Structure 1
C-alpha cells in the first residue's frame, strides 16, 4: 500500500511530530511512504492529476531521529506519479502556517484532495469536511452543551460588552490560527491595552472571544478521536494533560507547555460522544479535542499533535493503531462492489 503524507514543507517537519510517527508506523508495517507539499500537484490537460513526491527508503525505523534524518536527506528520491497510484492521502498540513506568507498554499491540500478523492484515492481527513473547518467558526456548529459561549466579531464595542458580561475574564484569539499564537486574557474593560489587542487581532481578520475558565490554570486535556471515537488501546486512552508554563495562559506544547498524564473520566467521554455525530458526518478521521473543565475549547481537525508526548508518558505508541485504520479503509474500498463515498469511508 502506498500512503502519501501532505505537509506544509518537508524542511518544517520535526522528528517527534505526529506525522513523522505515523509515517514511521506505515514504513514499519511494510507500506511505501511518500511526502507531498502544496506545490507538488499538476492537473494535466488530459484531466489526469500528477503528483511530484518524495519517496522514503523502504526501511524500518526505531528512532524518530533516524527517520527524520532520512526525510531531510537532500538525496531523497523524487518521483512523479499519477494520483491514482496512491492508496491513501493523509492531509497533515496546518493552513494557518501558510496564510500570511503563502496564501496560495494554505488550502492546496483541500483543493487537490478533492480531486484525488474524485479519482478514487482515500483522503483523510475528508477534504469536503476540512473545507467546512477552515477556521474556529466550525466549532460553533457543535452542540451548545459542550462549548463555552463565544463572540466572533471585529467590533470593539461588541467585544467590550462581552468582556463586561463575563466578570471572571475573557480569552481573545484570532478566528484563524493555531499553536497558541496571539492568545490574550482580558480581565476587564478597563484594561488600557484592550483597544490595541482587538486592533492587532483584527488585522488578521475576525477574532473570537470566550469566557475564561478558571480550571484552565491547571491546563487542558488533549484527547484523540479516531473514526469519531476516543482512541484507545487496552485501558489506555490517547490523551495528555497540557500544563501552561509559569506565567503563561497557553497550554500548547509549541508555546512551552508541558505534557502530563491525563485521567479520562466518564464526563470527558460524554463530551466526546456529543461531538461524535458531526465528526462522523464530516468525515473527520483523526481529531484532537481540547477540554477544560466540563467544556471543549477547540476541535483540532488539521494535523493535531501530541502522539509523541502520549507515547512517552504511557508507553503506548498509537501511530500503528491509526495506520491499521487506514489499512482497513483501503481494504473496504477494494472489496466493495460499489465505490464508497470518501466522507463515509473516512470514519468507517
Structure 2
C-alpha cells in the first residue's frame, strides 16, 4: 500500500503523544510505502495534483518504540503525483485549509481519501452537529449561533439554566471556551463585543450548559461508524476546559449505555458523509463536537487500556484498498470479455 499523510510539519510532532505518528509507525512496520507532506507543499504540474513529499526510507528493522522510530526516521525528498497513492490520510491541524481540499478534488476518483474531502468541508465546523436529525437529534444540546449581540443577550436572559457555554464558532482545541453565568450578566455585552469583533464580525455559539461539565468530558474515537476507544478528560484545577492541551488530564473510561446509543445513532450519518475516523466530545450523553480533521487520543487511550488502536485504523485502510483493487480487477476481466466478444 502506498500511503500519503497530509499533516503538520514533522519537526512539530510530540513523539510521546502524537496520534498521527502512531499511524505512520504502524504503516512502516507493515512495510507500506509512507510519504508525508503538508498543505503548503501541494502543487499542480501538467494539470495534475502533486506534492513535495518526504518519503520514509525503508529499513530492515524498525524500532517498536515509537519515539525511537521518530528520531531515527530518514526521508527522501520527492515531488510525487497524488493520483499514484492508494490512500491519502488528512491529518493537518485545524483550521481547515480549503485550498488544500481543492487540490485533492482532481484525484478523489483515483485515491481513497481519509476522511473524504466533501465530508471535511461540511463537518469541520461547530455547526455540523445541528445537521443530525431523527434519533440522533436527542443527543445534541440546544445550541444558538449568531453575530447579533442583542439576540445572544436575549438567549441568555431566556435560558432556564443559570449558566451557558460560550465559544467562538471558528475556535478549536478548547480555545475561547468559557462558562457564562447570569449572575455576571453585566459583563456579557462586553464579552460579546470582544468575541464578535469588528464590522464583519465573528459568529459566537451559546450552548446549554450540561450537568456534569465541570467534571470533564469523554473523547470517543469512531472508526467506520463504530467506537474503538474512549477516555475521560478531566479539567485542571484552574480551568473549566478538559482539553489535554489546556491542562486537562485523561482517565480510563468505559462507554455507558447512553454513550453507546449515541454512537449507534450518529455512526451511519458520519459514514455516509465519508467521515470514517472521527473524535466525538461528549458530556453526560450529549454531543458537544465532532472532530474530523485530525482527531487525537490514540496514544492516551492506548496507554490507559493497553491496546494499539492504530492497528485497527490501518487494518481498515488495507481492507478498503483491497476492496478497491478487487473491483478494478473484476472490471478488467469484464472489459476483456467484452473486447473478446467484439473480436469474434
- Answer yes or no: is the 8 Å Cα contact 1:163–1:170 preserved in 2: yes
- Answer yes or no: is the 8 Å Cα contact 1:116–1:123 preserved in 2: no
For residue 103 of structure 1, what is the aligned residue in structure 2? none
Q: Identify which of 132, 149, 156 aligns with 1:156.
A: 149
1:220 aligns with 2:236: no
Deviation string, structure 1 residues 190-241 (Cα, Å, up to 9, x no partner): 434322321222237211110111211111111111011112xxxxxx1100
1:84 aligns with 2:94: no
Whole-angstrom CA distance in 1 between matches of 2:90 and 2:8: 10
For residue 307 of structure 1, what is the aligned residue in structure 2? 298
Deviation string, structure 1 residues 248-276 (Cα, Å, up to 9, x no partner): 11111111110000121221110011111
CA positional deviation for 1:68: 2.8
What is the TM-score with the length of structure 2 in the denominator?
0.88
- Answer yes or no: is the 8 Å Cα contact 2:48–2:106 preserved in 1: no
Decide which moves more: 148-157 or 191-200: 191-200
For residue 68 of structure 2, what is the aligned residue in structure 1? 66
CA positional deviation for 1:302: 1.2
Structure with greater helix share of residues? 2
For residue 205 of structure 1, what is the aligned residue in structure 2? 202
| Alignment RMSD | 1.8
For residue 260 of structure 2, what is the aligned residue in structure 1? 269
For residue 102 of structure 1, what is the aligned residue in structure 2? none
SS in 2 for 1:193: helix
For residue 340 of structure 2, what is the aligned residue in structure 1? none
Alignment CA distance shift 1:10-1:193 (3 Å): farther
SS in 2 for 1:214: coil
Decide which moves more: 193-202 or 292-301: 193-202
Whole-angstrom CA distance in 1 between matches of 2:126 and 2:87: 27
CA positional deviation for 1:69: 2.2
Alignment CA distance shift 1:80-1:319 (3 Å): same
Whole-angstrom CA distance in 2 between matches of 1:24 and 1:210: 39
- Answer yes or no: is the 8 Å Cα contact 1:168–1:211 preserved in 2: no
Alignment of 1:29-178 (within 5 A): 29-44=30-45, 46-59=46-59, 60-70=62-72, 76-96=75-95, 106-118=97-109, 120-143=110-133, 144-166=137-159, 167-178=161-172
Give unpaired runs (5+ residues) of structure 1. 99-105, 232-237, 340-348
For residue 22 of structure 1, what is the aligned residue in structure 2? 23
CA positional deviation for 1:338: 5.4
Alignment CA distance shift 1:266-1:328 (3 Å): same
- Answer yes or no: is the 8 Å Cα contact 2:210–2:283 preserved in 1: yes
Higher alpha-carbon Rg: 2
What is the TM-score with the length of structure 1 in the denominator?
0.87
For residue 174 of structure 2, what is the aligned residue in structure 1? 180
SS in 2 for 1:95: coil
What is the number of residues matched between the two proteins?
320
Give unpaired runs (5+ residues) of structure 2. 333-344
